Structure 1
């Protein structure tokens, strides 16, 4: 555990998984299947489970997707979060289907009465709501006020949505502030963490390919976690979501926040290398991915590095 890490957030539960309040940082992802195709969605979620994903989110675009949520929920083993935009009826339907969490912004699902209905239904079922602020979809008035999707604008948006839920006696809240800009993301989370104690979900949105996305996520998520900020994480990559999971655990393992899986240690090779090391390490990495026991495995090419 990091010496500098502090318990800054209150505890909530998404299904059976504790979030915040000193609980281990949780790894989550999102499917990229059509949720209306329940078999494809369940298949991908099971692969995510096998990789170590602990929470999964699915896009709910219409009533046809809502109709599949109960079937999906019954076929998987980790909590299911419904991602909702614009239509409060989809949120109510998802709650009725038994989802474990919602991701929505109460300010974009209609008037006060619609927010009240969703908050009431979620409170009765003890289902948390994640307010997900994204720099690419901030309110027009905030963009006009701040001139760009600045960290201050993102926090102002989050606080606005938080108040909408609090006004309806709902406090099972988790918040995210995602930008594709690493520094803006860090500043936004720091600012919000100084003002609220709700659990925070960390991520760099639209992070990109495996290499760029992993690096940007490691920087943004890693710095915040080192400062004691953040309770759940997602590494967003433009590829199979299963590939996000080992990157997330590598970040947590590097910070000694989660000891899970194999840390593969290998030298960069040089003129002293006595074996064909690179393909050996690549094959070891592939084979060791499925090991969950905390281990360190070292593969070196000469006696200098051991």
Structure 2
């Protein structure tokens, strides 16, 4: 199939709906090929003004499927194309929803939940940041309050990043400094880090709810 063929097919089906006085139409041009999907939606949006349901269909397993969906859906949304989205993964539908929210959050189109900022690590790393980041992501996935949490692995770039997020920690050797809305809350051990961050998150949530 080609983008032109996809759009022509959609056009024919729109005409069928209109012939039966049905005008509550939303159009989906999903494909498993990312380029075909993107080109089809872009071409359609140039010719018609119907709302569009975006998605990369049969995207595949969680990791590769999330990448394909993020590229296809995200690129179109960034251009102002699209009204609803569906992430299709060979996984639990709950995971599909999580990936969908992350796509929207990355473009500033949704503010629900926690955004984690974490460094890719380097030779300065002296804590198990992979484990900490994984545990924090799992613990924070159901939080509704919008917030950004920084998990930084060294004292070189860490303090700067942590200072400019809502909450964060900048690690050194076996310990780290906690930050709450730019304020240094002091030093904690690596073993205490997750619990102390959770305490600050509860504090932040409470403050936001009171506001």
Task: State the TM-score, normalizing by the size of structure 2.
Answer: 0.73
Q: How is 1:138-157 mapped onto 2 (pairs within 5 angstroms)?
A: 149-157=1-9
Q: Which has the higher contact order (CA 8 A, sep 6+)?
A: 1
- Aligned pairs (5 A) from 1:222-241: 222-241=74-93
1:244 aligned onto 2:118: no
User: What is the aligned partner in structure 2 of residue 183 from structure 1?
Assistant: 35
Deviation, structure 1 residue 305: 2.0
Query: Could you tell me which residue of structure 1 aligns to residue 123 of structure 2?
Result: 271
The structure with the largest alpha-carbon Rg is: 2
Question: Could you tell me how far 1:170 is from its partner in structure 2?
Answer: 1.0
In the alignment, which of 295, 298, 306 is matched to residue 147 of structure 2? 295
User: Matches of 1:207 and 1:198 in 2, distance apart?
Assistant: 24
- Between the aligned partners of 2:157 and 2:86, the Cα distance in structure 1 is 34
In structure 1, the partner of 2:194 is none
Query: What is the aligned partner in structure 2 of residue 77 from structure 1?
Result: none
1:197 shift after superposition: 1.2
2:26 partner SS: strand
Q: Partners in 2 of 1:169 and 1:226 — Cα distance?
A: 33
Matches within 5 A, 1:30-179: 149-179=1-31
What are the superposed Cα offsets for residues 79-125 of structure 1, whole Å, 9 maximum, x if unpaired? xxxxxxxxxxxxxxxxxxxxxxxxxxxxxxxxxxxxxxxxxxxxxxx
Unaligned runs of 5+ in 1: 1-148
- 2:68 corresponds to which residue? 216
Local SS of the residue matching 1:189: helix
Aligned length, in residue pairs: 158
Q: Distance in 1 between matches of 2:157 and 2:143?
A: 25
Q: How far off its partner does 1:271 sit?
A: 1.7
Distance 1:192 1:276 in 2: 48
Task: Please give the alpha-carbon distance, in whole angstroms, between the structure 1 residues aligned to 2:146 and 2:56.
Answer: 27
1:274: Cα distance to partner?
A: 2.1
Separation (CA, whole Å) in 2 of partners of 1:269 and 1:189? 38
* Separation (CA, whole Å) in 2 of partners of 1:198 and 1:288: 37
Tell me how far apart the structure 2 counterparts of residues 285 and 267 of structure 1 sit (CA, whole Å): 14
Indicate the SS of the match to 2:29: strand
Paired with 2:111 and 2:94, the residues of 1 have a C-alpha distance of 19
Q: Distance between the aligned counterparts of 2:98 and 2:148, measured in 1?
A: 15
